[in-house]
């Protein structure tokens, strides 16, 4: 008999003939070190669901006992089932597109050079400010559908293309509206400190003061975001400015995230650890001291190899982070400049190739650790009795296929709360 199974519970959904069920069961916290090698694999398994929640996972024979003639059944056909992917770092609320800038980059121009000449983030700020709420909701809704159809059942979305109190609040309301009209699970993050807006050119400290005095109280007061993030980087917000913003955000009740040590080792990881951030993201240039600090504080390292690939830059030291005891998660960084994608599934084979992670580490990083990085570790990323039935039936017979194969959508069926929401790349509800 499987732990957590109650014989009186009748399943309303039974998924059977699962060749490999990656439950990701383990300690109830972000996984680190050798824990990242364990995907909680069950073979020839089944999963029973009632009222949108899992009531049992285990050997097919045991779980099947919970079904009766009214139970809806899904034959997984010997395929792989995993928890729905969680994407804990995206900037998908934006208007416009930057393929022209990408062509400049291919021709050799640097990221900070493009930013300094009014391109980069600021071109998306102009387009986003100019777009109507309806347009932004509709664009974000479409991107949610693309994410969901590729196996992402939960997603974090940041503001940060408004850069004024009015436009930052507007972006967060757009995120809330799009989330309310879509089955995907959404976590909103306030990123007013994404760039210094043109109106504050040369007056970064004044902008930091605006973020602290006006934006953070407004965001926290209206409960428009769960997290506050800062782009702590050379030429953007320095360590002291980042500390000020994050300290005020924490006092206002927001969780913390940091864009840390992406282009230069500035101590962003150490700052994230010092302030008890939920995650430190990018970390391409993180120092050994920064890694040790993250490990001690239990901060999740969110790695974004799609961004390195687009920028032609170095990749984060994923193996070193894991060896140092830091829990590692993966995200798309979905944004129009440096990672134009909605698919965390696409990042999985990329991470195996560019970060040197094993298929087990990659899957842990894209499910359970990613859910923790998004502040949803207690509900997402694990298939176990009592958890929401958010899962994906993959067009694969071995979970390692997800790290191996690339370029086509392998998410055959996507479920949220036991409800089929996408099949073979097409959204069914929303
Ligand atoms: Zn980012």
Q: How confident is the model over 159-179, as pLDDT tens digits?
A: 999 999 999 999 999 999 999
Where is the domain boundary, 334, 352, 373? 373
pLDDT digits (tens, 9 = 90+) for 247-305: 999 999 999 999 999 988 999 999 999 999 999 999 999 999 999 999 999 999 999 99
Tens digits of per-residue pLDDT, 11-24?
A: 999 999 999 999 99
* Ligand 1 centre distance from Cα of residue 89 (Å): 6
Compute, in angstroms, the gap from residue 163 CA to the centroid of ligand 1. 15
Same domain, 107 and 182: yes
Q: Are residues 59 and 112 in the same domain?
A: no
State pLDDT tens for residues 177-221. Answer: 999 999 999 999 999 999 999 999 999 999 999 999 999 999 999
The CATH number given to whatever domain includes residue 314 is 3.20.20.140
Question: What's the confidence (pLDDT) of residue 104?
Answer: 85
Does a structural domain hold residue 216? yes
Does the residue 254 lie in any domain? yes
- The answer to whether residue 6 sits within a structural domain is no
103 in the same domain as 71: no
Residue 410 Cα to ligand 1 middle (Å) = 26
Q: So what's the pLDDT on residue 8?
A: 58
Confidence of residue 374 (pLDDT cuts 50, 70, 90): very high
Percentage with pLDDT > 90 across the chain? 89
Give a yes or no: residue 268 inside a domain: yes
Which pLDDT band, with edges at 50, 70 and 90, does 94 fall under?
Answer: very high
Tell me which residue range forms the domain holding 401.
Answer: 13-83+381-425
Ligand 1 mean position to 25 CA, how many Å?
A: 29
Asked if residue 7 belongs to a domain, the reply is no
Q: Are 403 and 315 members of one domain?
A: no
- Check whether residue 48 and residue 132 sit in a common domain: no
- Ligand 1 centre from 79 Cα, in Å? 34
Domain boundary among 357, 373, 389: 373
Q: How far is the CA of 314 from the centre of ligand 1 (A)?
A: 16
Q: How far is the CA of 70 from the centre of ligand 1 (A)?
A: 46
202/170 same-domain check = yes
CATH of the domain at 28: 2.30.40.10
pLDDT at 430: 52
Kindly state whether residue 2 falls inside one of the protein's structural domains: no
* Per-residue confidence (pLDDT) for residue 91, from 0 to 100: 98
Q: Are residues 249 and 295 in the same domain?
A: yes
Residues 63 and 91 reside in one and the same domain: no
Ion ligand 1: residue ranges with CB closer than 5 A? 333
Span from the CA of 280 to the centroid of ligand 1 (angstroms): 11
- pLDDT for the residue 116: 74
Burial 273-311 (b: 16+ CB within 10 A, else e): bebebbbbbbbbbbbeebbbbbbebbbbbbbbbbbbbbb
pLDDT of 385 over the 70 cut: yes
Q: Do residue 96 and residue 69 come from a single domain? A: no
Distance (Å) from CA 187 to ligand 1 centroid: 15
CA of 78 to the centre of ligand 1 (A): 37
Q: Check whether residue 284 and residue 139 sit in a common domain.
A: yes
Q: Give residue 212 CA to ligand 1 midpoint distance, Å.
A: 20
- 269 in any annotated domain: yes
Mean pLDDT score across all residues of the chain? 95
The position carrying tokens 């195996």 is: 352
Does 39 share its domain with 115?
Answer: no
With cut-offs at 50, 70 and 90, classify the pLDDT of residue 1: very low
Gap from CA of 54 to ligand 1 centroid (Å): 33
Decide if 4 is inside a domain: no
Question: Same domain for 359 and 413?
Answer: no
| Per-residue pLDDT, 183 | 97
In this prediction, residue 90 carries a pLDDT of 98
CA of 259 to the centre of ligand 1 (A): 6
Domain count, the chain: 2
Output the CA 194–ligand 1 centroid distance in Å.
9
Cα of 154 vs centre of ligand 1, distance in Å, is: 17
pLDDT of residue 418: 97
Query: How many angstroms does the Cα of residue 4 sit away from the middle of ligand 1?
Result: 39
Mean pLDDT score, 224-228: 98
């Amino acid at each position: 008999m499987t732990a957590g199974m109650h014989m009186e519970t009748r399943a309303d959904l039974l998924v059977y003939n699962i060749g490999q069920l990656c439950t990701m069961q383990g300690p109830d916290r972000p996984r680190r070190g050798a824990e990242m090698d364990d995907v909680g694999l069950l073979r020839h398994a089944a999963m029973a669901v009632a009222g949108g929640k899992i009531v049992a996972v285990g050997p097919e024979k045991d779980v099947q006992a919970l079904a009766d003639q009214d139970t809806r059944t899904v034959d997984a056909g010997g395929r792989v089932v995993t928890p729905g992917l969680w994407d804990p770092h995206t900037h998908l609320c934006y208007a416009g597109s930057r393929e022209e800038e990408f062509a400049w980059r291919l021709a050799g121009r640097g990221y900070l050079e493009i930013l300094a000449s009014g391109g980069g983030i600021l071109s998306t700020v102009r387009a986003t400010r100019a777009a109507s709420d309806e347009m932004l909701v509709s664009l974000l809704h479409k991107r949610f559908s693309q994410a969901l159809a590729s196996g992402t059942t939960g997603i974090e979305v940041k503001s940060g293309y408004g850069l004024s109190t009015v436009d930052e609040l507007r972006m967060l309301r757009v995120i809330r509206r799009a989330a309310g009209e879509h089955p995907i699970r959404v976590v909103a993050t306030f990123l007013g400190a994404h760039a210094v807006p043109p109106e504050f050119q040369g007056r970064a400290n004044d902008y930091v003061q605006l973020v602290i005095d006006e934006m953070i109280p407004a965001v926290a007061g209206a409960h428009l975001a769960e997290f506050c993030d800062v782009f702590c980087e050379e030429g953007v917000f320095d360590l002291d400015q980042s500390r000020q913003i994050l300290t005020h955000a924490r006092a206002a009740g927001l969780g913390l995230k940091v864009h840390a040590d992406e282009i230069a080792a500035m101590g962003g990881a150490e700052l994230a650890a010092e302030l008890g951030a939920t995650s430190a993201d990018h970390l391409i240039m993180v120092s050994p001291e920064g890694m040790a600090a993250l490990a001690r504080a239990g901060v999740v390292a969110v790695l974004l190899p799609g961004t390195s690939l687009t920028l032609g830059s170095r990749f984060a030291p994923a193996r070193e982070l894991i060896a140092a005891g830091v829990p590692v998660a993966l995200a798309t960084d979905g944004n129009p400049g440096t990672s134009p994608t909605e698919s965390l599934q696409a990042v999985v084979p990329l991470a195996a190739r560019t970060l040197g992670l094993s298929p087990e580490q990659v899957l842990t990083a894209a499910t359970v650790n990613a859910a923790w990085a998004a502040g949803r570790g207690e509900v997402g990323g694990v298939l176990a009795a009592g958890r929401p039935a958010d899962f994906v039936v993959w067009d694969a017979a071995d979970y390692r296929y997800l790290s191996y194969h690339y370029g086509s959508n392998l998410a055959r069926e996507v479920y949220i709360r036991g409800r089929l929401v996408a099949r073979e790349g097409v959204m069914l509800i929303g």
